[in-house]
Structures are given as C-alpha cells and as structure tokens.
Amino acid sequence: MTAKNLSTVASDLIESYGNTAKNMIDAYRAGGERVVTLLEQRWNSALKESRSELTAETAKNARAAQAAFSAYYTKGLTLTTSGAQQVVTQLVKLAETGVERAAANAALFEEKTGANTLTNLAAATAPGALALSKVATLIEQKTADLASKIAGDDVSTVKAKRSSAFSQRRAATAA
C-alpha cells in the first residue's frame, strides 16, 4: 500500500469523523427543538389550569412571554448549531487538504531522495488506519441512527459518503 492509499484512507477517516460530528449536532438540534415543544405544552397546560385565577391581561402577557422565550431559544439553537456545522465542515476541508499536501510532499521527498522509508511506513500503518476507518464508519452510522431517532423525520443526517477532496482531485487529474 502506498502513501497515496494511506492518504485516501486518512481522508475517508476525517470525513467520517466530520459526518459523525454533524450527526451529533443534528441530534442536539432535534433534542433542543423537542425541549421547546415540551416546554410550550407544559406552559399552555399550566396556563389553562390557572386561567380562572388570572386576569385577561396577565394571561395575554404570559402567552406573549412564552412565545418570546421560545422564539429566542429556537433562534439561539438554530444559530449555534448552524455555526457548529460550518466549523466542522471547514475543519474537515482543512484536514483533508493537509493530508493531501502531506501525501504529495511525501511522494516528492521519496522521489528526490530515492528513499522508500515513507512508503514502507505507509504500508505498515495502512491496515491499522483501514480498521480504524471501518470502526469510524460504524460509529458514523450509529450517530446517524441516533439523530434520526431523536428527530423522527425532521432531521437531515449525512447518509451517503461524499468523495473526499483528495479523491476528487485524483479523479480530475486522471481525466
């Protein structure tokens, strides 16, 4: 196995970790949305029970306060989870670019020096990296299942792996 193959496995592993993080962010968002729904139900139930003891203006203010709290919480939840998704996406891109550059530099180093040390190291570590990648893929699928269970049909988790930046560039070079 060459350094290029090891870099492909590393890119897939990075992508899998990124997808796992995104799945957990989706689960957090869905859980937060469920909390808002539960709090709204509890608030409305309490308001309905105490309605006879409240003035019309107090009940109106209570409904308005609850609506405002829910809106702020939901907006904050959306902003933070969207921001977290963007951070994960950028980190994955950065890490994949780093792996791609390291692989290219390793190939150039071996070409210039004539030493096969990096190729031998890649061949020795590739089986472990491949096994780790398989485990990461299983974890990714389990987190996607968890996010789906939490959200029901409302969450859009990453189901299919996209090709890594390394794979895309290699395919473009080959074409």
**Residue 96: other Cβ atoms inside 10 A:** 23
- Write down the mean pLDDT value for the chain: 83
Model pTM? 0.73
Q: What is the pLDDT of residues 66-81, one digit of tens each?
A: 989 999 999 999 999 9
Do residues 129 and 5 make contact, with C-beta atoms less than 8 angstroms apart?
Answer: no
Do residues 107 and 48 make contact, with C-beta atoms less than 8 angstroms apart?
Answer: no
Do residues 105 and 7 make contact, with C-beta atoms less than 8 angstroms apart?
Answer: no
Which carries the bigger pLDDT value, residue 122 or residue 89?
Answer: 89
pLDDT of 155: 44
Mean pLDDT for 17-40 is 92
Mean pLDDT for 149-175 is 54
Does position 56 have pLDDT exceeding 60, yes or no? yes
pLDDT of 84: 96
Does position 161 have pLDDT exceeding 60, yes or no? no
